[in-house]
Amino acid sequence: MRQYKIFITAVAMLMVAASCKDADAPGPYGPVPTDAQLEWQKMEYYMFVHFGPNTFTDSEWGTGEEDPDVFAPTDLDCDQWARIAREAGMKGIIITAKHHDGFCLWPSKYSRHTVAQSAWRDGQGDVLRELSDACARYGLKFGVYISPWDRNHPAYGTERYNEVFVGCISEVLSEYGDVFELWFDGADDRQGDAPSKYRWKYFNATATTLQPDVVIFSDVGPGCRWVGNERGYAGETNWSRLDVEGFAPGRLSPSWDTLNTGNVHGSRWLPAEADVSIRPGWFYSPSTDDRLKTVDELMDIYYASVGRNANLLLNVPPDRTGRINPVDSARLMEFRDARTEAFHADYAKMSRAYSASVRGNSPKYAAANTVDGRYSTYWATDDSVTSASFTVYFRRSREISAVMLQEYIPLGQRVKEFSVECRQADGDSWKEVCRGTTIGYKRILRFDPVTATEVRFNILDSYASPLINNVAIY
């Protein structure tokens, strides 16, 4: 009897050992995000704030000749911005510290065109100080936009301007605590050869020396890339990879189409950020108080940005008082409510998920990982398997009209085609409800409502074993 037990135990141990074959963790595919890029990606949605002399002059591109006294908010309240951003579900705020007019919202030593030269708060004001403090108080991350193109600075266009710009970078990155993103605008007036004189490597090196985790935005990164339009739309196919060799921000950037989709085999991990304004312009104007984007338009933007593997940077420009206008904050809250309405009931949560293709048949990589709500557990197949399915089973039939999928991007972006099918409540028939190409960090797809008992996710093609860490079904 005892020998028999030992035999059974040995057989069981052998079976466990066999099932663990290939259950070692998958290796990375292609370039992968840094920790800072991953944390940045998880922010998903944050606020852009265009504020400066243009707020008061009804212009989008100031000439740089504005009297510093035009900058005169009567009731600046950065706490109000932060409170609204937080209530809107945003994770941070990026402010135009210096737009193309060159006016610095902080008392820079490198310019004579700043808050210190204005009558506002007797030249003692510092918008960056107030905003970074407010962000800290409200648990938001703080980010800074500075435009290399400067229509005021006397040194602009000369080699010396590089030192001026580096000086500005140093100030904003050393005086205001952690900066999660540094936003380099690629625009210029397309005259002269000033942009070709920009020393981008020097700018980037200065920034990362001061703050190693800052994510630097430009047309070509190095932290994240422009999405190629100002409508907030990423490509339906959107790789977080880009080839940057031989390119530079601005006129020397890759084509806007390429920025929109990334390069499938790009050599650098460079995820997209979709920037768009809630109003027709980037800066406040009383003439646009009744021309805000509708909730439906904002939802379309959300599906086309966060829903297509890009972060959404939504611009909400404060008005001349220095507060976010009530019409903008009301629209932000309606948009938040619409997202809550669309995404609050996730039927994948609490459901069972199963796949016949599991890496090494190990529970560690089972399909159950896609519905456990955890970021770092994922469903994986054996390395040789690049098309496979998993199914989510509901306890009872549900009417659904959207799905969300996430790839485990710490090991790279892999999936190139997928589809989703539902088993319909009225019998055995399966119906394809949507189909897509890339997934990346997050993909959300809408479809006409169907009543389903099961939802099957088919990875149709992938560059390597697909790694899906989460799905949701709404």
Among residues 126 and 185, whose Cβ is nearest to ligand FUL?
A: 185
CB of 211 to ligand FUL, least distance (A): 22
The CA–CA distances, whole Å, from 107 to 36, 144, 172, 180, 387 equal 29, 15, 10, 21, 57
Measured distance CA(460)–CA(443) in Å, rounded: 15
Select 91 or 98, whichever has its Cβ closest to ligand FUL: 98
- Closest residue to ligand FUL: CB criterion: 187
Closest CA to 29 of 419, 407, 459: 407
Of residues 333-392, which lie at the interface with ligand FUL (CB under 6 A)? none
One character per residue 177-216, x = contact with ligand FUL (rule: CB under 6 A): --------x-x-----------------------------
In angstroms, what is the minimal distance from the CB of 100 to ligand FUL?
Answer: 6
Residue 282 CB, nearest distance to ligand FUL (Å)?
4
The distance of closest approach from Cβ of residue 149 to ligand FUL in the complex, given in angstroms and rounded to an integer, is 8
Of 276 and 304, nearer to ligand FUL (C-beta) is 276
Site string for ligand FUL, 58-97 (x = CB under 6 A): --x-------------------------------------
Give min distance, CB of 158 to ligand FUL, in A: 22
Smallest gap from Cβ 226 to ligand FUL, in A, equals: 9
Cβ atoms within 10 Å of 12's Cβ, excluding its own: 10
Return contacts of 357-362, CB within 8 angstroms, 24+ apart.
357/381, 357/382, 357/385, 357/388, 357/389, 357/390, 359/22, 359/23, 359/26, 359/465, 360/19, 360/20, 360/21, 360/22, 360/23, 360/24, 361/19, 361/21, 361/23, 362/19, 362/20, 362/22, 362/23
Question: Which residue, 254 or 436, has its beta carbon nearer to ligand FUL?
Answer: 254
Comparing CA positions, the residue from 417, 416, 415, 419 lying closest to residue 447 is 419
Q: Which is nearer to ligand FUL, 190 or 396 (CB)?
A: 190
Q: State the nearest-atom distance from the C-beta of 200 to ligand FUL, in Å.
A: 16
Q: Number of helices and strands (H, E) in the chain?
A: 11, 17
Complex with ligand FUL: residue 251 or 374, whichever CB lies closer: 251
User: Which residues of 230-361 form beta strands (DSSP E)?
Assistant: 241-242, 268-269, 272-277, 310-315, 352-354
CA angle at residue 36 from 170 to 79, to 5 degrees?
Answer: 65
User: Could you say which residues in the range 269-288 bind ligand FUL, by CB under 6 A?
Assistant: 275, 282
Which residue is associated with the tokens 């054996």? 382
Closer residue to ligand FUL (CB): 228 or 466: 228
Q: Where on the chain is the footprint of ligand FUL (CB under 6 A)? A: 60, 185, 187, 275, 282
